[in-house]
Amino acid sequence: MMKQSACRQLTEPGFWAGVLVVLCTLSMGADVHQDLKTQSMPSRVLKRHKRDWNWDKLYVSEELPPQNPPGKIGKLDNTFFNTSSRYILSGEGANKFFTVNENGDINVNAKLDREEKSIYKLSASIINKESGKPLDKDETFVIVVLDINDNSPVFPPDLSGSISESSETGSIVMTVNATDADDGSTLNGKIEYKLLNGTDLFYINKKRLDNVGEIRLLKSSLDREKQSQYIIAIQAKDLPGKEIGNSATTTVTININDANDNIATFKKGKYTFNVKEDSKQEYEIGVLDVDDKDEIQNKDPTFTIQHEFDEVFDIKLNNEKDGILTLKVPLDYETRNIYTFHVNVDEHTVSKSPDNQGPNLQKTAEVSINVTDVDEPPVFNQTKYNFSFYEGQFSSPIIGAVLAKDPDKTGNKIRYSIEDSNCPVAVDPVQGHLSVKRQLDREQQSLHTFKVTAHEDVPNGLMSYALVNLTVLDINDNAPEITNGTLHVCESDTAGTIIGTVGANDKDESSQRFTFTLAKKSTNFTLRRHPNNTASIELKHGGFSTESSMKYELEIEIKDGGNPEKQSINLVQIKVCTCHAGRRIEYCKAFAQTGVSASALLAILLCIVTILVIVILIVLRRRYQKEVLVIKSSGDIHEQLVSYDEEGGGEMDTNGYDVSILSSACQDSSFRPGLGPSLYAVVKKPPACKGDMGMMIEVKKDEADHDWIPYDTLHIYGYEGSESLAGSLSSLDSSSSGSNLDYDFLHEWGPRFRTLAQLYGVDDSDTDSFD
């Protein structure tokens, strides 16, 4: 009864009355809810004040189950309302969640959820029941859904943070932001946080207006080397400051970041290494490993080598930040075979209060290096030799010497050599003296570079090389040569006109003064010297013409001022030209070509030799043919009858035919053109008893005139066929009886062709026979 009376005192008209109704209802139970509602709801009646509608916000609590009869949350009231009119609701949730009865009471028909929708906007209308016409204009109003604490806080997934192990007390580790779906303007949506473990190192603020919790460092005693990660449980609860409320729990991961709070120390007090004496510079001797519990990015050791030895050895860091002992200079076993020194390690970037301190730290180590002996090649006293020598003739060929020694204790003798056979320098194999083998020419090659080999004078001795540069010095041994050796004179030029300037060039290095003079006097031109090693050509008179056939040349003698004996005579050709204004050339008369170049002369000689060779071959061949003809005329003349399926190897091929047809050499046969070309043709042969060459030629001529087969071979050719438009490809059926060839021209070829003209010439007897 006390709670009921207290709630009655709190239920005053206004917004907070509805809120208190809900709170009191939740605390006292449903038995007093109806009583409170009847006292608080009359304040929600909509009454007319100076207008037809009078509105105020209507409130309803969420999550209330539907009632029978439905719960009333307000009433519509209009001055036009009577028994013949009625109210109509429209808008969000109208006739679904909210209804109005004939008296204007607004009822709730379903359970509402504020997290789904917190405000409903509706419109009220009043109409005539019979006509349905509106009696007043529509008015809008809202229904506010009051929140209850029906949601728990929710954490985001995978919460993690980090902090350096050297952080001070109060440093922020990370923030936590849980959310609550309830009304954030009420305690239902406010969140407070609590750490469930790790409270000896961390703490979290209990509550903030923005529901964000900050995890901070309670004390600066973190040590990553002892524990690098912490798993902390956090509780989030609404209704802060009260024992009741909804809560949720999650875990966060806190990673401890490393700081440089450990001093690097040597893992042992002494390091021993063996090094060959032929090791090169930057050779890595060994590793001086150190102990540093910090992560690799926070390792920063500094090594210091004992004075005097730091000129021979050096230390650089590897990827693990250990020390790599390296060579600065090559070692020599014969000079010193052991090195012992100390190395210090320090770390300047470590924090002010490192975890490892005290005098027992191993910050100094002893290093011993044993140099081992190896058989070394000879060593030159210089890695490169530079000599110079004058070109031309010389009185002494010696240009210098090289020297190499065996660095081993055996001290073998050394022999020298130069492997390049084209090198102009020779070396004494014992003394190492270098001397030139021939005269040098600076203009051909000004620098000679070669290698001198030094090898031990023992079996399988080692060798080494040294580079030698020989610079050829210049002497004044070249005559000057003219430059700009072609000039032109214009038809319009007058006396005193400078038609051009000539200069001189000398291949020698020394820039001497040149003297220009005319080697032959000229009636047309004069030469004027200048102090800048040039000379200008002037006209003595004008009147030059391109129609003239004269050729103008000047012979200019140039002397070298540094060596008067070096002089040259140079020919300058001068063309006559038709010129525009300013001596710009329009047309020049070409020089007459009086000579033949060397290349043209060589080509002519090659052509002559080729023609001679061809003529000799032709003569030899004809002589050979005559000899063969004489030999055949003195012996028996044989003929062959060959049958081929295809064109074959000629008269030397005697394996593929039957020679039985030649058994009767004295039988005479005639060619029968009536037979087809597929039959054998019989060769007409002279009688065997008649060996006269003239008769044989006559017979052969007659056979040739009648298209008989040549005496040496008879080929069988196939036809294309009777239906072929091409007909036969054979020449066996052809006849020269109607030939128009006239061999009388053979009489005009001279005595050598007289016999042939008589054989093939047409006489009266032949004419009669053809008729």
Element (H, E) at 82: none
Q: Of 616, 609, 603, 504, whose CA–CA distance to 562 is shortest?
A: 504
pLDDT computed for residue 57 by the predictor? 77
pLDDT computed for residue 568 by the predictor? 86
Instruction: Give the Cα separation of 441 and 394 in Å (integer).
Output: 12
**Band of pLDDT at residue 326, cut at 50, 70 and 90:** very high
pLDDT computed for residue 103 by the predictor? 85
226 Cβ neighbours under 8 A, 6+ residues apart: none
Q: Is residue 664 part of a domain?
A: no
Query: In terms of domains, do 393 and 457 share one?
Result: yes
Whether 132 and 151 have beta carbons less than 8 Å apart is answered as no
Q: How many CB atoms lie within 10 A of CB 547?
A: 8
Query: In terms of domains, do 119 and 103 share one?
Result: yes
Q: Of 736, 579, 712, 582, whose CA–CA distance to 637 is shortest?
A: 712
Element (H, E) at 613: helix 598-634
**Band of pLDDT at residue 513, cut at 50, 70 and 90:** confident
Lowest-confidence region among 196-210, 246-260, 561-575:
561-575
Instruction: Give the Cα separation of 138 and 88 in Å (integer).
Output: 10
Q: Is residue 47 part of a domain?
A: no
**Band of pLDDT at residue 407, cut at 50, 70 and 90:** confident
pLDDT computed for residue 551 by the predictor? 79
Query: In terms of domains, do 490 and 565 share one?
Result: yes
Average of per-residue pLDDT values in the chain: 79
Q: Give the residue-averaged pLDDT of 676-695.
A: 51
Q: Which amino acid is at 598?
A: A
Query: In terms of domains, do 229 and 315 share one?
Result: no
**Highest mean pLDDT pick, 16-30, 583-597, 641-655:** 583-597
**Highest mean pLDDT pick, 181-185, 269-273, 296-300:** 269-273
Q: Give the residue-averaged pLDDT of 524-549.
A: 87
Split into its structural domains, the chain has a count of 5
The pair of structure tokens assigned to 733 is 């059926």
pLDDT computed for residue 55 by the predictor? 63
Instruction: Give the Cα separation of 311 and 175 in Å (integer).
Output: 56
Q: Is residue 755 part of a domain?
A: no
pLDDT computed for residue 591 by the predictor? 61
Burial class (CB in 10 A: 0-12, 13-18, 19+), 456: buried
Q: Of 576, 586, 573, whose CA–CA distance to 544 is shortest?
A: 576
Q: Is residue 745 part of a domain?
A: no
pLDDT computed for residue 670 by the predictor? 44
Lowest-confidence region among 56-70, 408-422, 517-531:
56-70
pLDDT computed for residue 435 by the predictor? 94
List the domain range (segments joined by +) for residue 527: 481-588
Burial class (CB in 10 A: 0-12, 13-18, 19+), 439: exposed
| Dihedral pair phi/psi, residue 44, rounded to 5° | -95, 0
Residue in the structure block whose two tokens are 């050979």: 624
Query: In terms of domains, do 360 and 396 share one?
Result: no
CA neighbours within 13 Å on the CB side: how many for 71? 23
pLDDT computed for residue 84 by the predictor? 87
Whether 562 and 510 have beta carbons less than 8 Å apart is answered as yes
Is a pLDDT exceeding 80 seen at residue 696?
Answer: no
**Band of pLDDT at residue 408, cut at 50, 70 and 90:** confident
| Dihedral pair phi/psi, residue 663, rounded to 5° | -60, -30
Q: 678 or 658: which carries more pLDDT confidence?
A: 658
Q: Is residue 658 part of a domain?
A: no
**Band of pLDDT at residue 751, cut at 50, 70 and 90:** confident
Q: 15 or 760: which carries more pLDDT confidence?
A: 760
Query: In terms of domains, do 363 and 397 share one?
Result: no
pLDDT computed for residue 467 by the predictor? 94
User: CA triplet 312, 314, 315: central angle to 5 degrees?
Assistant: 160
Query: In terms of domains, do 491 and 582 share one?
Result: yes
User: CA triplet 766, 769, 771: central angle to 5 degrees?
Assistant: 110
DSSP bridge partners of 525: 539
**Band of pLDDT at residue 708, cut at 50, 70 and 90:** low
Whether 346 and 363 have beta carbons less than 8 Å apart is answered as yes
Lowest-confidence region among 88-102, 346-360, 385-399, 523-537:
346-360
Is a pLDDT exceeding 50 seen at residue 6?
Answer: no
Query: In terms of domains, do 252 and 283 share one?
Result: no
Q: Is residue 635 part of a domain?
A: no
Using DSSP, state whether 665 is helix, strand or coil: coil
Q: Of 146, 141, 73, whose CA–CA distance to 115 is shortest?
A: 146
CA neighbours within 13 Å on the CB side: how many for 38? 4
Q: Of 241, 305, 293, whose CA–CA distance to 267 is shortest?
A: 293
Q: Is residue 441 part of a domain?
A: yes
pLDDT computed for residue 339 by the predictor? 96
Instruction: Give the Cα separation of 172 and 195 in Å (integer).
Output: 15
Supply the CATH number for residue 541's domain: 2.60.40.60
Query: In terms of domains, do 452 and 368 share one?
Result: no
Q: At what angle do helices 2-10 and 15-28 cross, to 10 degrees?
A: 170
Sign of CA dihedral 521, 526, 529, 535: negative
pLDDT > 90 fraction of the chain, expressed in percent and rounded: 33
Instruction: Give the Cα separation of 319 and 296 in Å (integer).
Output: 9
Using DSSP, state whether 617 is helix, strand or coil: helix
Q: Is residue 454 part of a domain?
A: yes
Q: Give the residue-averaged pLDDT of 551-562.
A: 83
- Number of helices followed by number of strands (H, E) in the chain: 7, 41
Query: In terms of domains, do 466 and 560 share one?
Result: no
Query: In terms of domains, do 296 and 335 share one?
Result: yes
Is a pLDDT exceeding 50 seen at residue 42?
Answer: no
The pair of structure tokens assigned to 199 is 């409270």
**Band of pLDDT at residue 531, cut at 50, 70 and 90:** confident
Domain boundary among 588, 618, 643: 588
pLDDT computed for residue 13 by the predictor? 35
Task: Give the DSSP letter string of 19-61.
Answer: HHHHHHHHHH-TTTHHHHHHHHGGGGB---SSSS-----EEEE
The pair of structure tokens assigned to 109 is 């028909």
**Highest mean pLDDT pick, 109-113, 229-233, 721-725:** 229-233
Lowest-confidence region among 414-418, 505-509, 732-736, 757-761:
732-736
pLDDT > 70 fraction of the chain, expressed in percent and rounded: 76
- Write the DSSP symbol of residue 110: S
pLDDT computed for residue 739 by the predictor? 52
Q: Give the residue-averaged pLDDT of 249-256.
A: 95
In order of 471, 522, 525, 580, 632, the CA distances from 576 in angstroms are: 48, 16, 13, 13, 74
**Band of pLDDT at residue 448, cut at 50, 70 and 90:** very high
For residues 91-127, b (16+ Cβ closer than 10 Å) or e, as one string?
bebbeebbebeeebbbbbeeebebeeeeebebebbbb
**Band of pLDDT at residue 723, cut at 50, 70 and 90:** low
Q: Give the residue-averaged pLDDT of 494-503.
A: 89
Lowest-confidence region among 557-561, 568-572, 600-604:
557-561
Query: In terms of domains, do 242 and 185 share one?
Result: yes
**Band of pLDDT at residue 685, cut at 50, 70 and 90:** very low
Longest Cα separation, the chain: 177
